[in-house]
Structures are given as structure tokens and as C-alpha cells.
Amino acid sequence: MSDFDHITPFRLVRTIAAAGRGHPAIYLLICEAAVAKLVEADLRVEIDVQLDAPATTEAISELRDKGLPPSGDGSVRLVHIDQWLPKLVDALDRHSPFLVQDGSQLLLLAGDEMAKRIIRRAPNLRNRLTDVFEIEPEYLSGG
């Protein structure tokens, strides 16, 4: 993986909560494919508990034909970038100022190589990122 700071879903959502729900943010979260579903589940639980906000989860492969709809409800949107779609990445880059203009938070979850491709291809989005983290699931069992 890359050299970005590590974070857990609990800490990420705590950071969002500390900034305030109306504070727009875009995070690029780098995650190994093997644990992506666990991270998504942990994020949904933490968003529900800590923010009491609606959370939507979408895979970029499902957005291929329709694009990313505006939220307008202050929700936290988690978009799993599960395949490389250059046109959609270009659209995210071009429209990055409008993705969170309503005060919502956008969490982009991608593997290491996919995240690198996004960072290289989407300079406007890269400049609007609140932060980039390597995210791991919560392992409450200690193992």
C-alpha cells in the first residue's frame, strides 16, 4: 500500500463529526479489496451512530450510465470505485466543486492502484480532497 496515514472507520467518522455535519468534505479512502465490504459496513454503522445521518453506498460500476446524483439531504455518500471508468472519473473531476456544495460528505473508497490512477487523472478532484487515508476495518476482537 501507499504511504498515507492509516485510519479506522470510527476515527474517520469522529473527524467528520468534529468538523460538523454541515462541513463539506471529500475523502479518498484506500482499502484492500479483501476488506472493502467490512470497511463499508463499519462506516455505515459509525455514520449512523456518531452522526445520526443517512448514509448511501454506491459502486461506481452501478453509476456507469446514470452518474452520481446530487444528495441535497446532507447525507454521507460512500462511493466504492470498484472498476476503472475514465469518463466517470473525468466527470467527478470536472464537477468536484458541486459534489459537496450542500454540506454533505463524500467518501471515495478505492484500492491502492485505483486511487493512484484517480489522483493522476483528476487534478481538480485531487485539489478538493479533504484528505487521503488508508482505511482498515475495526477489529474489535483484537485479532
Who's near 121: CB < 8 A, 6+ residues apart? 86, 89, 90, 93
pLDDT tens digits for 43-54?
Answer: 999 999 999 888
By C-alpha distance, which of 52, 121, 38, 113 is closest to 82? Answer: 113
Beta bridge partners of residue 37, listed in sequence order: none
What H or E segment, with its residue span, contains residue 81?
A: strand 76-81
What H or E segment, with its residue span, contains residue 120?
helix 112-121
pLDDT digits (tens, 9 = 90+) for 36-93: 999 999 999 999 999 988 888 888 888 766 666 555 566 788 999 989 989 888 988 9
In order of their start, the domains of the chain are 6-65+73-135 (3.40.50.300)
Residue 23's pLDDT band, with cuts at 50, 70 and 90, is confident
